[in-house]
Structure 1
Amino acid sequence: MPSADADARALAGAKDMLREAVRHRRASRSAEEREADDLARFERVRELFGHPGGEPTVAAYLSTGAEPSTTRLVGWLAAQDVPVLLPLMGRRSDGTRRPGPDWAAYSGGTPLRSGPFGIPEPDAEGLGPAALGRASVVVCAALAATAAGDRLGTGGGWYDRALPHAAPDAVLVALLNDDEVLSTLPSQPWDVRVDVVVTPTRVLRTSEA
């Protein structure tokens, strides 16, 4: 009979294989395909948000490479004077490691720096893990999701550590390509489900959000 450790290793391995497959598919898409899908997805996200003006706070991230783009979304939110929080993953200004997931406020004029893995982040002081509790919407990085809201993260565990600090009624959103909405996903007890999945062709509500 397989041990719990063996089961956990098999599940982690299945996740890693799926991550590799999704990343390969994303990288194989042409720039024209990505741009068209990014624009269509942004329009759906904008419809989802409506006219947020001022409040609520939105936590998001700045995409890189072949990820579904968040650039238009973050820029649009800042232009609407919506308070935006972005992850801080690099070291603190004194060179020490951050003790946990950290966030910084972002506006259109906030300078950016290159963080770990080339991920852009605000060149600003961190607000700490609890700052996520201010956000009523959290746009979190994902590689795939199911109609039930199961989410496959990017593999670093950052959001697994960050999302427990979210407000209980915060709406968690994943931005994906159409072929990244799957029927099932390998999941583990600490995996946090998302409430809304946005693709270029639809907005899928996985809960009462």
Structure 2
Amino acid sequence: MPAADPSNPPFGADTDAVRAAKGVLRAQLRAARTVAEPESATAARLARALQLCAGNQVIALYASADHEPDTWGLLDELHAAGHTVLLPMLGRRPDGTVRREPDWATFTGRDRLRIGYADIPEPAGPSLGAQALSRASLIWCAGLAATPSGDRLGTGGGWYDRALRFAAPDALIGVLLRDAEVLPALPVESFDRPVGVVVTEARVLWTARNGESMPGR
């Protein structure tokens, strides 16, 4: 058997090389996102996401920023239709320290958002706590890439990997991406949480992990 190549660690290995590979890939994907999408792509992704949201009363989402696939249209449509939309709270505590543990609040309109940690819009409150995620039957996670098998490359803070521990066992976990960000494979670590569905401007991709994307599986 040939010796393992340390420059190409196996997927799933918790090594510094895997984390370095993630960093390189994140930089490449973020650079590609600086090229604006056509409005038609945003509209097509929104239409597909709305179809998936139908029938889910409580949905966890996020306010897009920094060239992420746009979620503002989805936020507005879901709120107008009477869905309960949970948004991450990433801001600072009253004592000025940064909130690192997962927390959520209900979206009640754009005019009731504030700029939180890393300039990410968030509700002003009230805080619902990490356990509020258990109410959501559909959870949209931020991400930079995903695979047909369900692996997801997050933005690097590990926030969703911690938050998803509080998801309901039968919740559907999804990610909104550009179609070019669906990759054949990704560097992953043992704590990375898979997704069950990927929605792009071109398709709805049910991943091979659809039945296994829930915590504890």
Instruction: Tell me if TM exceeds 0.5.
Output: yes
Query: Do structure 1's residue 18 and structure 2's residue 18 form an aligned pair?
Result: no
* Matched letter for residue 45 of structure 2: R
Query: Do structure 1's residue 45 and structure 2's residue 49 form an aligned pair?
Result: yes
Note closer, same or farther for the CA distance 1:184–1:84 as it changes in structure 2 (3 Å cut). Answer: same
Residue of structure 2 equivalent to 1:200: 201
Mapped contact 1:60–1:139 kept (Cα < 8 A): yes
Residue of structure 2 equivalent to 1:132: 133
Report SS of the residue matched to 1:155.
Answer: coil
Mapped contact 1:129–1:165 kept (Cα < 8 A): yes
Aligned mates of 1:66, 1:99 — CA distance in 2: 23
Identity %: 50
Query: Do structure 1's residue 173 and structure 2's residue 174 form an aligned pair?
Result: yes
* Matched letter for residue 44 of structure 2: A
1:164 Cα deviation after fit: 0.9
1:107 Cα deviation after fit: 2.0
Residue of structure 2 equivalent to 1:36: 40
Aligned mates of 2:77, 2:83 — CA distance in 1: 9
Mapped contact 2:147–2:185 kept (Cα < 8 A): yes
Aligned counterparts, 1:70-149, within 5 A: 70-98=71-99, 100-108=101-109, 111-149=112-150
Aligned mates of 1:143, 1:36 — CA distance in 2: 20
Aligned mates of 1:117, 1:74 — CA distance in 2: 20
1:39 Cα deviation after fit: 1.1
1:7 Cα deviation after fit: 5.7
Query: Do structure 1's residue 57 and structure 2's residue 58 form an aligned pair?
Result: yes
Mapped contact 2:14–2:189 kept (Cα < 8 A): no
Mapped contact 1:34–1:68 kept (Cα < 8 A): no
Mapped contact 2:58–2:138 kept (Cα < 8 A): yes
1:131 Cα deviation after fit: 0.7
Aligned mates of 2:169, 2:32 — CA distance in 1: 34
Q: Which has the higher helix share?
A: 1
How many residues of Structure 1 are paired with residues of Structure 2 in the alignment? 201
1:38 Cα deviation after fit: 1.1
Unaligned runs of 5+ in 2: 7-12
Unaligned runs of 5+ in 1: none
Calculate the aligned-residue CA RMSD, in Å: 2.0
Note closer, same or farther for the CA distance 1:93–1:34 as it changes in structure 2 (3 Å cut). Answer: farther
1:60 Cα deviation after fit: 0.4
Report SS of the residue matched to 2:149.
Answer: coil
1:124 Cα deviation after fit: 1.1
1:109 Cα deviation after fit: 6.2
**CA shift digits 1:90-115 (9 cap, x unpaired):** 11244344361100011226611111
Report SS of the residue matched to 1:117.
Answer: helix
**CA shift digits 1:75-134 (9 cap, x unpaired):** 111001101100001112443443611000112266111111110000112111111111
Mapped contact 1:115–1:121 kept (Cα < 8 A): yes
* Matched letter for residue 23 of structure 1: R
Aligned mates of 1:181, 1:116 — CA distance in 2: 28
1:72 Cα deviation after fit: 0.5
**CA shift digits 1:37-73 (9 cap, x unpaired):** 11110011112223x4xx5200000001311000001
